[in-house]
Amino acid sequence: MACAAHDRKLRPLSWLGISLIGLSLSGCDANWKQRLGIAPEPTPSKLPQVSDGPSAPPLKPGRNVIVSAVDRVGPAVVRIDTIKRVSNPLGNLFGGAPAIQQQQGQGSGFITRSDGLIFTNEHVVEGADRVSVTLPDGRSFRGKVLGGDPLTDVAVVKVVAEKLPVAPLGDSNDLKPGEWAIAIGNPLGLNNTVTAGIISAVDRTNALGSGQRVAYIQTDAAVNPGNSGGPLINASGQVIGINTAIRKAPGAGLSFAIPINQAKRIAQQIITTGQASHPYIGVRLQSLTPQLAKEINATSSRCRVPETNGVIVVEVVDNSPASRAGIKACDLIKSVNGKRVKDPSEVQLAVDGGRVGEPMPLTVERDGASEKLSVRPAELPRQD
């Protein structure tokens, strides 16, 4: 759980891959989709239900709006305790520690379905041999991890129970800076802690390094170790995100949450297959600046690029979707899926609008001319 308290390290841009929704809904009436809280594209198969909370109307604003919001969501916020068995290579030598040791961790989560479906962070339950879920009313259950996605840090846990309190899920697509942001969780072992602030920014594509697969919600609500996996809620008492990371700064900290709409899509894949699917096109990208463009033009005989800001293709993987689509090193990517892009993270997130194996329009600038290409993403190989 300590990892929620530290800055995520900046890492070199990884091969481009994006979470993909390979699931679909069919044969569902409008009322079912309204209760689910999503508006899926027409597809051939039925998506799993991830929420059976009521379609709660917004609370009336007033001086007790935070209290009312917490009253609605708080009973469904849980503490997650984990035990992981790890081997000690020096165990049993010279009377030392045992060969197998136990590591304990703690985080938060929230119930999204009354039969015991729980959302949390993948890093909260990663590698856990035992998961215990405790409700605010004191009830405790053995939890089973249905699956987790390290690329978006979303995980789903299931307990065997009925008629549990449910946290209503909101819509993270229309959030605005300045709105209330309320965090509930178990920081530093202090159960059922409530902190409040505002949404500082939305669609943070550079919050935790380049090549990320989440456009985070940034807030100034106080979040600490133990808050990871807990809900970020709005003034209407609806979950709008999953608290996942903070960045420390002198005198203050910044906290980041996974938008709930993205978390729902990943959860549906996990419930269906036990894992999330991520497409990739097979390129390595670099942010282009006027200074970098001057250096490239002065030192390379292969590239002549405009002295501007943008995204340049550094390398294309052999036999990848990008190479088959005709993307080349030194191309400047201008748009993906009809969306203008300005940096590698925006490219990464724009690819999320595509599907594995389906054509995705892509515009590049090559030798001063615009080229329209079509790429079919493949599924990113999973690392065991």
Residues serving a catalytic function are: 123, 153, 228
Q: Give yes or no for a contact between 220 and 200, defined as CB atoms under 8 angstroms apart.
A: yes
What tokens appear for 60 in the block? 């009336």
Beta-bridge mates of residue 118: 111, 157
The alpha carbons of the chain give a radius of gyration, in whole angstroms, of 22
DSSP class of residue 275 equals S
Using DSSP, state whether 352 is helix, strand or coil.
helix
From start to end of the chain, where are the E strands?
Answer: 77-87, 100-113, 117-120, 130-134, 140-149, 154-158, 180-185, 193-204, 216-219, 231-233, 239-249, 252-259, 279-280, 283-288, 310-316, 332-336, 339-340, 360-366, 369-375, 378-379
Token pair belonging to 148: 């987790």
Residue 216: strand pairing partners: 204
Q: Using CA atoms, how far apart are residues 325 and 375, in angstroms rounded to an integer?
A: 5
